[in-house]
């Protein structure tokens, strides 16, 4: 087993550590293979209840694939395909693990590190966590299979955010609809009290009608005081939901278009 990936057990919990802190836990080919073998073994262990995946040190979860070996391992199309044949099964092994996999993320979580975190069941991040896919700066692209976990994760995150916003809508809609009628009822009740006072006293003086009218005005103000913020809040959350839906749809389309370009370039290069 590679020293670049360590496994520790604490009862029913296994902790898998990407152990190359001097290179921000960048994954070389040997580490990828070791990580896949470890998760295959952990998946078969029925005594486990949870797997924690973390990076050694405080600076990084994983700074992606180790670019130091790119000149020898990803220098051409065939090497890139071979590299993907190593990485893709590892991501599938993590995603298929029967036990919950929790990514404990501190510092850089980019490139291959982000791909690994995306296929975990849960991600717990610290304030120092940073995310990205900087491999484009090297003139390289990410394989479809490697990005699938990120695409799925973004879709779920957008759906959860929309659901969270929509959670407030029924309450706001009910408040905006009902409180004006409650205020109206209070107004009518106050006016009735004023007329009752007039009948009982036989006088329409200010001292007789003022208590009932003041109650009516207070009820009206209370109804409007609840209804107006509720309407504003309702419109705000409706617009936020629409904005999120449009933004996420646009992001998904842009991402898919971006992913399709390298495939076309690759096919063209192959044809040439």
Q: What is the CATH number of the domain that holds 88?
A: 3.90.226.10
pLDDT digits (tens, 9 = 90+) for 58-105: 999 999 888 888 888 877 888 888 888 899 999 999 999 999 999 999
Please tell me the predicted confidence (pLDDT) of residue 203. Answer: 60
Last residue within a domain, chosen from 160, 180, 204: 160
Question: What tokens does 210 get?
Answer: 């003022």
Q: Are residues 127 and 39 in the same domain?
A: yes
Q: Are residues 75 and 178 in the same domain?
A: no
Last residue within a domain, chosen from 129, 160, 191: 160
Q: Are residues 44 and 93 in the same domain?
A: yes
- pLDDT confidence bin for 262, thresholds 50/70/90: very low
Question: What tokens does 1 get?
Answer: 């087993």
CA 195, CA 21: separation in Å to the nearest integer?
83
Q: Are residues 118 and 186 in the same domain?
A: no
Last residue within a domain, chosen from 160, 191, 215: 160
Share of residues in the chain with pLDDT > 90 (%):
34
Of the candidates 243, 255, 29, 266, the one whose C-alpha atom is nearest the C-alpha of residue 133 is 255
Q: Are residues 213 and 257 in the same domain?
A: yes
Q: Are residues 107 and 39 in the same domain?
A: yes
Structural domains of the chain, count: 2
CA 173, CA 104: separation in Å to the nearest integer?
40
| Letter string b/e over residues 76-91, b meaning 16 or more CB atoms within 10 A of that residue's CB | eeeebeebbeebbbbb
Question: What tokens does 40 get?
Answer: 């295959």
Helix boundaries (H) for the chain: 29-43, 70-73, 77-96, 112-118, 144-166, 169-201, 206-271
CA 22, CA 28: separation in Å to the nearest integer?
13
Q: Are 155 and 252 in contact (CB under 8 A)?
A: yes
Domain with 184, as residue range(s), is 168-271
Q: Are residues 144 and 209 in the same domain?
A: no
Q: Are residues 23 and 155 in the same domain?
A: yes
Q: Are residues 224 and 147 in the same domain?
A: no
Q: Are residues 43 and 76 in the same domain?
A: yes
Mean pLDDT of 198-203: 63
Q: Are residues 83 and 109 in the same domain?
A: yes
Mean pLDDT of 9-30: 95
Please tell me the predicted confidence (pLDDT) of residue 60. Answer: 95
Please tell me the predicted confidence (pLDDT) of residue 9. Answer: 95
Q: Are residues 61 and 100 in the same domain?
A: yes
pLDDT digits (tens, 9 = 90+) for 133-189: 777 666 666 766 666 777 777 666 665 665 566 566 666 666 666 666 666 666 666
- pLDDT confidence bin for 263, thresholds 50/70/90: very low
Question: What tokens does 254 get?
Answer: 């842009």
Q: Are 91 and 161 in contact (CB under 8 A)?
A: no
């Amino acid at each position: 087993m590679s020293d670049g990936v360590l496994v520790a057990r604490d009862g029913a919990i296994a902790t898998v550590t990407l152990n190359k802190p001097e290179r921000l836990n960048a994954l070389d080919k040997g580490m990828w293979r070791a990580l896949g073998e470890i998760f295959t073994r952990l998946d078969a262990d029925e005594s486990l209840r949870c797997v924690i995946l973390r990076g050694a040190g405080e600076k990084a979860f994983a700074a992606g694939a180790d670019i130091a070996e790119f000149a020898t391992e990803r220098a051409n199309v065939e090497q890139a395909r071979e590299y993907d044949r190593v990485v893709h099964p590892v991501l599938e092994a993590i995603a298929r693990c029967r036990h919950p996999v929790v990514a404990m993320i501190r510092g850089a979580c980019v490139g291959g590190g982000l791909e690994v975190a995306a296929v975990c069941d849960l991600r717990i991040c610290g304030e120092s966590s940073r995310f990205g896919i900087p491999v484009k700066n090297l003139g390289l692209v990410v394989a479809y299979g490697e990005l699938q976990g990120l695409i799925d994760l973004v879709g779920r995150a957008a759906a959860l955010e929309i659901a969270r916003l929509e959670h407030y809508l029924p309450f706001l809609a009910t408040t905006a609809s009902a409180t004006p009628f409650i205020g109206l009822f209070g107004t009518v009740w106050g006016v009735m009290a004023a007329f009752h006072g007039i009948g009982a006293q036989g006088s329409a003086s200010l001292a007789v009608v003022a208590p009932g009218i003041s109650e009516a005005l207070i009820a009206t103000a209370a109804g409007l005081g609840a209804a107006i913020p509720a309407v504003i809040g309702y419109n705000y959350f409706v617009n936020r939901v629409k904005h999120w839906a449009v933004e996420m749809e646009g992001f998904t389309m842009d991402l898919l278009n971006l992913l399709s370009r390298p495939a076309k370039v690759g096919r063209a290069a192959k044809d040439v």
